[in-house]
Structure 1
Amino acid sequence: MARIVAVTACPSGVAHTYMAAEALESAAKAKGWEVKVETQGSIGLENELTSAEIAAADIVILTKDIGIKFEERFTGKTIVRVNISDAVKRAEAIMNKIDAHLAQTA
């Protein structure tokens, strides 16, 4: 079972930040994976990832439309960068690519 952590943020910090978080969570859970998504929206950091959660993660997903705060936390981890719109509309495809990557490295 894969462990995924993600951080979503969009330039306006409102709807897409949360829509992307929900889409990524649903797609990962559909594969039976553990997932936690931190949002960096207009009201600040929510559902903040702990150092233990980051350390245990197999993959880190970061949106790339705006800078992610405290990105140095993920140094040394396998990072997948996605557009916020892809996270909203193509979360299942993102998880399928991650699944293929994990199968190759297993």
Structure 2
Amino acid sequence: MNIVGVSACTVGIAHTYMAQQKLEDAAKAVNDQVKIETQGTIGIENELTEQDINGADIVILAVDVKIAGEERFDGKKVVKVSTATAIKSPNKLIAKLHELAKQ
């Protein structure tokens, strides 16, 4: 499965990157393709391209704040959770994305 997403926390530092890493590790563990954009205090990193988004089966938004460019995901299956959920239960979250992508 091909997953793209965005992580962003209220401070824009620690939880943003922790959520990104946990999601990437969990997705790769089940052989998914994954790319997570981060939006934080230093701006947007690992920015998703239109091609990334178009090729995605599902979008995960692990965010605690409003993000820039959320409209890019219109028409896609989007799951929104807190960064805490992504950090604490990444494997369950990836399993849930698999279920939702099949619907």
TM-score, normalised to structure 2, is 0.96
The list of structure 1 runs, each at least 4 consecutive aligned residues, that deviate by more than 6 angstroms after superposition, is: none
Unaligned 5+ segments in structure 1 are none
Q: Give the Cα separation in 2 of the matches to 1:9 and 1:80.
A: 14
Query: How far does the alpha carbon of each residue in 1:4-39 deviate from its partner, in whole angstroms, 9 at most, with x for none?
Result: 001000000000000000000000001100000000
Within a 5 Å distance, the mapping from 1:3-42 to structure 2 comes to 3-42=2-41
List aligned pairs for 1:20-99, cutoff 5 A: 20-99=19-98
Q: Distance in 1 between matches of 2:10 and 2:37?
A: 16
Aligned-partner Cα distance in 2 for 1:99–1:51? 22
Deviations 1:45-72 (A, max 9, x none): 0000000000000000012310011101
The CA distance in 1 between the partners of 2:3 and 2:91, in whole Å, is 14
Deviates more, 1:10-19 or 1:91-100: 91-100
Amino acid aligned to 2:16: T
Indicate conservation of the 8 Å contact 1:38/1:47, yes or no. Answer: yes
Query: For residue 100 of structure 1, what is the aligned residue in structure 2?
Result: 99
CA contact (8 A) 2:53 2:73 kept: yes
Identity, % of aligned positions = 50
In the alignment, the residues of structure 2 paired with residue 36 and residue 76 of structure 1 have an alpha-carbon distance, to the nearest angstrom, of 18
The 3-state SS of whatever aligns with 1:96 is helix
Q: Give, as a single letter, the amino acid of the residue that structure 1 aligns with 2:35.
A: K
